[in-house]
Every structure is written in C-alpha cells, then in structure tokens.
Structure 1
Amino acid sequence: MDRNGPADPQPQRQHLHPEKEIRVTEPHPDDPGPVDPDMPTRRLIVTRGSRIKAKKLVWWELGLILQYAINLLAAREGKGKSTVASSWAARETRNGGTVLWIGTEESRESAIVTRLIAAGADMDKVIFVDVQTDLGTGALVFPLDLNAIEDVIREHNVTMVFLDPAKAVVPPGFSGNDDIAVRQYLEPIAALADRCKVTIIGLAHFGKRDGADSGQLMLGSVAWSQVARCVLSIAEDPDTGTRVLTNTKANYAGTDRSVEFRIVSTTVDTDDGPTEIGSVEWLGDTTVDARDLLAGDAHDDDAGERTAAEHWLEDYLTANGPTPSKVVKTEAAKEKISEATLKRAKKKLGVIDESSGFPRTSTWQLPSRLTASQATPVTQDREPTEPTGPDQPKQDEPTEPEPQSAHANMSEPTGDPTGPSPATMPARQFSKPARNRHRTISGKPISSYPTCIVCSKPVVAGQGDRHLSCGKDEAAS
C-alpha cells in the first residue's frame, strides 16, 4: 500500500469452515452494505451430493396425487372439481387424517360442509380457519398468515390442505398472470407442504377454449402448472356422460393414469330438512384421456370442416374471381362456415387480400396458378382471429425414480376407506371401444355430399361430381 495514496481495493476473500462447509463472503469494496446494520451476513452453504439422502416418492393416490407437495385439480366451470376434492377429503378423514379446508367461493354451511357429509367425511376431522381482526372476521392471506397456518397444521396434526380455489389466499394486488408473482405465492406453500409433511390440493379453472395442454388451458400464468408437482384435469366424455380425470403433468409417474367417474345425487339430512347434493361415484381406471376430450373435435370433425371450407372458398373464388371480402363472408355464412374457419381456409390457400378505393374495400382473390407456390398471403383484416389448432401436449419424459405404492411406508394413518376410491377400484379388464363419430359439414352428414371424382373429397358447393378447381387442373393436364 502506498502511504501517500489511497489503499488498493482488497480482493473479495472467502473463508472455508471445513466442519460446516460454509463460505462467508466478505463484501466487495464497492458494495454499499446492508441497509440495516443489524441484518445478518449472507452466507453460501455448500453441500456435497454424497451427503444428501435420496428419498422415494410417496403417492397419496398412485399416479395421481403426490404427498407432501402441491397438486392442482383443474376443470372447466361445473365439471365437479369441488365434488372430487370433497371425495378425497372424506377419504383422508376416514383413514384417520385431518383435513384443513380453505374455501372462499362457496357457502361453508350449504355447500362445502354438505358436500363433505355427502362424501362420507368424518366432520370431527375437518377444520376451517378464520382470521379475527379489530374490524371483525377477515380472510387468510398468504404469505402473511403462512407462519400462523403452519402452527395450526402442527397443533391439529393436519395431513391434507385444500385450497378452493388455489387463489383463495392471494395477497392484495396479486396478478395471476404474472409468472414471478405466482411463483412467489406458490413456492412458500410448496416448502410448507414438504416441511410439515402435508399434502396440498388446489383447485384451478380452465378457460373456455379447446386444447390438449392443461398448462395453457389454465387461467393465468403457466407458472401455476409449473410449480405444481401434479396437474389433474377433469373433462366430460360426451359419448357416455361420465367424466374422466387424468394426471396431465405426470413427470413423476411412469404412465399417465386416467380414472372415470360420475356425479350422483345424494341426500343429506340437515337441520332444515333433507337436501340433495352431488357426490362422486368412482368407476375405475379407463383408457380415455382427459386431454383428448379437452381438445374437442379439433383432431377430426374440425379438420373436416376446415378442409371443406378450403374447397368451398377455392371453388367460390375460381367461379367468381376477385370478390369483396364482405360478400365472401356472407356467402360462407349461408353455407354455415364460421368466419374463423373461413379465415383459416383463406390463409391455407394463400388468398390475396387487397384493399382499394374510398371507403376502402377489401377484395379476395386466388393467387396465380403459376406463382401459387411462392405467393405470400397479404392479410389486412383488423379483427382478431381464433387459435389455428389445438395446443400440443407437453412430452416431458419422467426424470424421477419409479413411483412407489401409495400404501407403503406412509406416515399418516392408513386404515381402509369405507367407500370406493380410485385406489380401491380394480382397473378395467377391457378396452373402451372407439368412439363412433359422425362427421358433418354445414350440419349435414358428410356422406350426403357427392365425392369429387378427382380428389375423392366431398363437394359441398353444389358443383356436381367434381370441384371447379379440380376440373380446371384436370383440363390443364
């Protein structure tokens, strides 16, 4: 160090404590230091992999619900999320566990409790928690009340927590569309589940759009499904009227398990007299996947509709030449072709969209036969378009050890449940027959249309035994 000059900045030093393997990092000279002088020094703790004991996965319900973690149960409105959750809660109480139910969307007396009773729950094993403030009774807020909830869990030996919905205890100003905010909300809850050895099931909502990716269907950020260890999706099978529950995020399971069930009416005696409410009747494992049902008919009927729309639009513009888009849309509507399907057909065919005149008029025309393969469609529509196809399901390969049975080495009571559940129902010994779908175009069976003698596809625009475009191609050849 030069006595007449400033001291050279000292390099950052690290002291290794062998007995604890803790690295204490001294602050850099340019580091202003903590705002609070009493704030403890930040330390980096190094742990060798050989010192970490591997633990096996424990399933509460094999292939569906992972213990000591966050599991999400998602469906569209009215498909039985709360009813299924009540069935699981009742099963846990019958097995000797204690359930904490945190619900904000329904009446505790007329819906939540009644549904639990219908499912056969031991109501002495179900607890609810309210917040008392100077202004009266308030609602729980995480992470503000997380430490207090941990005390409740330990005091009452809670083994399972239901959040109905998963957003029931979000803080004020919380945005469910913000990835960072969702992670900051869920990750402390996930740590609580592991620390207290409690299984958490949160209920989530799907939007109305069709798609096979449950993470994209879920309202809000994809972080909801990313932080959860399992995502259980419910969909209704239109062929049978039953419902299918599938683990659509099965990173920790060897296979995607699906279970079929139906909602049945159950009578519950109340102080006001008997009342009817739905309960679950489990039917056993099934080969039907909820993702296929959530995707709608995008893989078959909708594809046929789009192909038919492409033929109709090509025939129409071949016969009429450049046509105002408003006229094309009007004529398509007469054929029961939706505007969204028409736009997809327009894009697929590379239809040229030009605007001219005052007021400006949009005109559609087919690209030149010689340049069709290089033509770039010019689209000037200002209205939003619908999704162009179903979401593709994630193909995550399992990265964890083989799943273990839910009925071995469980720390919670494992008494036999008194009612049916997916675990106690035997897997079906037969495969469900393929669904017999009847494809229609414009509301009529596809078999009612003549088949084009050139391309063997249906002719839907009244052009006889061949499409105009096919006839033109045949003549040119």
Structure 2
Amino acid sequence: MLKVAEQAIEAGMKVLAIGPRSKVPDTRFCRRGWKDATDDIANVKKWLSTDDRINLAASTFGSGICVVDVDGPKGGRAVREIAKLPRTRKSTTPNGTHRYYRYDGDLGGSITKFRPELDLLLNTYVLLPGSKHPEGGTYETADFGAPIARLPEPIADAIRAYRKKTDRPKESSKGRSGFRSGQRNNRLTSIAGALRRQGLEEGQISTALLAVNQSHCRPPLAVSEVERIAHSISSYAPEHEGLFDFMSNLTPRDVHFVWEPYLVQGAVNLLEGDPNVGKTYLLCEIAAALSSGRSLPGQDRGEPRNVLFMSAEDDPETTLVRRLMRMNADLRRISFMRKFLRLEEEVFEHIERHIAEHEVSVVIMDPLLAYMQSGIDMNKANETRPFMARLAELAKARNVTIIALRHLNKADKDKAIFRGLGSVDITAAARSAVMIGLHPEDDQTRVLVHIKHNLSERGATLLYELDGGDRSKGKVPKLVWRGESDLTAEDLAHKSNKVGRPNDASQEAQEFLRRALRTGERRIKDVVRDAERRSISDRTLRKAARTIGVVKKGQTWKLAETPL
C-alpha cells in the first residue's frame, strides 16, 4: 500500500488514514478527518508501522482530480450514454471501478446517483488499492502509476448542467412552511446525524439532504454546502458499525494525560467538591495553564492547548475572563458558549464541529448536571448512563479531555467517592476523579485529593490557596500551589458539613436565588429544579425566596429590584 500512496501523492493528491475494514477516517492518525490528509510519505510509513491493518484513502480536495465511480453493468451503460471514457489510472472495487481524471475549474462536490450505479466523486476521498471494503473484498489495481487522463468535456458539461439545475432556488408558495435562514444548516445537520446513526453512507445521506434542501429550505442552501454537511457527518461511525470484534484485531493504545495522573486525555474526568472551596478557581487555573503551556504540579511545561470553557453558573464577562487574566491564561486559546444549551444531540454536533474547526483539546463543563439533556433524572443510573456514554464517545472520537465539575450532596457516605450529586454511574463512567475540600485545620487552604484513578496510580494529594483577593476592591485572588499532603478524601468528609456558600443552608439558598434570577424572571419549576441539582431542598428554597423578597408573578419568580 505504501507504493500506491506514493503514486497518489506524486499525482497531486494527499493520503488519509482510514480505520481497518472501514471508510471512516482513523482518528488515531487523522484526528480532524480529511483535514489531516498528508502529502508526506514519511507520515504514511509511520501510520502503517503503527497499524498495518488500516486502509488508506486518496484525498482529492483541491487537487483538480475527480473519480468516476462505476458500479456494475448499469453504471457502465450510463456513463457511455454521456461520453466514451479514455484509458486512465484505475482501481477495481468490490462492485466496479474507480477511474481517475483531471479537470479544470470548479465543478463543486460529489454527485451521488448521478445516473443509475454511477457516482461522480469530487473534492472527497476514495479508498486506495490494497484497502479492504467494510462488507468484504479488496480494492485492487493493475497499474496505479498509469497516467491520469483529462475528464471528457461532455461529462464536465453534464456536471455543470446538473449544478445549474439543482442550485436554482424553487419558487416558494405563499405561507409554505420550511427551514428558513438561520435554521437550515442546523436542521440538515440534525437530519444527517439521524441518517448516519441508521447506517447510511455519505452518498445516501447527500441524496436525502439535497431532496430536503430543495423541498424545505427557504431559500435552498448551495449544493456544495449540503454536500459538505453530508461529508462531515459521514466521518462518524454509525451506531451498529463495528458493534462486535475480536480482541486479536485490537492494537493496544497507550494512555495519555493532560495533567498526569489527574486528567486523562480522550476521556471524561470529574472534579467534585462542596460550594465555596474554589472549584471554579481551580478550573480557571487548569484552563490558564493548559492554554499557555505553563506546567501544573508534577508535570513539565507543555505545548499550549485550546480549551472550550462551558459554564452554566459564572458569567464569562464579569467572572471567568477576570479570573483567567489573573492566572495569565492565553485568552486567544480559550473559547466559550455565548448561550446556555443543554447537551441534546444537535448541540453535541455543534460542539463537535467547534472542536474540529478550532482544534480544541480540553472541554470544561461547569457544572455537569446543568448540561444533562432535559427529562433525565440525575439519580437514575439507566437515564444518566447513556448521557455519560455519549460524553465518553465524544472524548474518545475527538481525543479531547472532558473535565466535568460536580457538586457534592450533603448526605453522610462511608466513602467519599459516593458523595457526588446524582447516580453513582456518573462516577463509574469517568476515568479519573478528584475531590476538592477545605483543609481540616486551615480554612484558607484547599485540598485536592485523587479519589478515582482507573488508568493510573493514585496521584499525590495537593494543597493550594486563593491568595491576594479583595472582593470589596474587585481584586481577583490568584491560585497558589502549596505542595503535597498526606490527607485523604475521608479526612475532607469530616470538614464538609461546615462548608457552604455561605455555611448556613438558608443563606446558601439566598445566594443561589440572587444568581439564578439576576437576569430577570424565570419559571419557578426551572429554578427549583436547578436548586435541587445543588442539593437545596424545595422547602429551603421557598423560605429563602420569602426572606429576600422574591416576587411571584403567576408561575415565575423575579428579584424585587429587577425591572419587569
């Protein structure tokens, strides 16, 4: 396969690593899919030396090369009706042939089902000879070094005529419903995701999206944009693909960390603690260190990383950015969501695109439970497990480190690992978890304890302080590390009953209400639900509402000083 890869590169194409017996990019080598295709044969050699079972594909993006994909006798007759194909570089597929041709100008993206059993593959990638088809069979060639001929002009004209026909917006009837500007990309992406999960391939997804685009989008998107959506979504494996396999087909994968051993790369990690112990300050310190390449305790200085900081509690402008600046973060590498959205499947897809486009390697979620899909009971394992599995899938597929903050409940537990709010399955799904608490003998010192460590030895307990802050003057404290300790999570448990924001439960509820209602009125049931996630009971919350003079208007609450 290495010789074939060299011939593809010499012709002006790039080469892409594809999973064994798959058409999906192998994220071990090409993390961003086709965007990581290479024209350096040394990279291809490295891929094959790591796993010689992988498939290879030729990327035709921007190369001026297209592939005429002929499947069976019908495809042969269909292409002959347009033009006689000249001899050219060719490979044999399990169902027909791939013929490579050069063309001039812009012919757009692939056209699937251009004629019966005839696809025209442009600005995409195709499996190279030596690759194994997912359904059996091998791509072969007699001479892949043969010259690449010019695409017959009648075929180029047929492509242009097709573009002109499908790019023309249809007249919309007065009052017809559809996907309007601002909705079109999201709706088509959601449809493409649903089709991919059913096992449909890129060509089938593209055909379906083009039909929906013409019938429902007002006005229709450009064909090239629709095909881009289909191609992007098709890079993900469908749910049933590779459901079963044999251990003998696996290559052992090394475990990597962004902060060894506390934060595992490509996995979900938890950061847990009571209120008012500096959890978000610690998240800001981690984001600042990773974005700037600064070392965290126990590690050497590393390469700067891009971070997505998702916070449902702290305002980016008034809180987060000030803390990050105080901790010398590289703000150019830290992105955030301007709007709070629960992680429904469509939002997952937005996040995955952001990760791919901006090369994000760390995602922070503060707090985790706020982002759970609507309708999930956080205390039921059968409901939280699919959500956590989806997070883990995102982490592994994109090789990103997810750091999820979780509050602790107020119940006494025999083991600290069981004190996190919600089902114990949340903890079970994480590969690493740390707990934050106050030092039993010094309220000014915070303690970080490694309470779960599936993929490493337990890390040392670390101490830190929030130094130099003055809230009255608007001065943000700086997080300062104070070395290691012999304290355990159980030592922190004895201190936890004294911790609150502030200590009194009623005052904690009052502070929560002021934050929850600071932007205006909200539905009471939504506020109650969010309070329960912070282990504030309905009774305590309503008592606090009366104490601070929360105004009830129908089924909503607002602060007395907030204008209607």
Determine which structure has more spread, i.e. the larger CA radius of gyration: 1
Larger helix percent? 2
The structure, 1 or 2, with the larger RCO (C-alpha pairs under 8 Å, 6+ apart) is 1
Using structure 1 for the length normalisation, give the TM-score: 0.50
